[in-house]
């Protein structure tokens, strides 16, 4: 099993959710209004640093994870590097 962590500019959260839904991901956790600084700049939800990100976590089979990553990469290429999309895949074992 893989844990997929997706960080995306909040303007593109619907695009990420469409990808997750298209592959019948059984569930995910969404953390809205994530603030901070990264490659796309500072996002603090303020006038000086507008915007925010959305963080998603999902645990899926390795094959589905590879497919999701390919689609997220395509979304990133369409959106451009300034839009801020990152995904991280980690090995995961369900313990409870």
Domain 2-90 is found in CATH 3.30.70.120: yes
Q: Where are the domains of the chain?
A: 2-90
pLDDT tens digit sequence for 69-93: 999 999 988 887 667 799 999 999 9
CB 84 within 8 A of CB 38: yes
Residue 53, token pair as written in the block = 């990100």
> What SS3 class is residue 14?
helix
Q: How would residue 57 be classed by pLDDT, with cut points 50, 70 and 90?
A: very high
What letters, b where the CB count within 10 A reaches 16 and e where it falls short, cover 67-78? ebbebbeebbee
Question: Mean pLDDT lowest for which of 14-18, 19-23, 60-64?
Answer: 60-64
In the chain, the N- to C-terminal Cα span, in Å, equals: 14
pTM of the model: 0.89
CB 38 within 8 A of CB 55: no
Residue 9, token pair as written in the block = 């500019």
Predicted confidence at residue 67, as pLDDT, reads 94
The Cα-based distances of 94 to 3, 31, 65, 91 in angstroms read 10, 21, 16, 10
pLDDT tens digit sequence for 59-73: 999 889 999 999 999
Q: Length of the chain in residues, anyone?
A: 96
């Amino acid at each position: 099993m893989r844990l997929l962590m997706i960080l995306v500019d909040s303007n593109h959260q619907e695009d990420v959710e469409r990808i997750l839904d298209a592959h019948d991901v059984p569930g995910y956790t969404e953390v809205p209004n994530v603030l901070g600084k990264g490659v796309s700049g500072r996002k603090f939800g303020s006038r000086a640093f507008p915007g925010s990100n959305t963080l998603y976590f999902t645990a899926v089979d390795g094959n589905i994870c590879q497919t999701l990553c390919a689609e997220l990469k395509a979304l990133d290429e369409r959106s451009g590097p300034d839009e801020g999309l990152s995904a991280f895949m980690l090995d995961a074992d369900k313990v409870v």
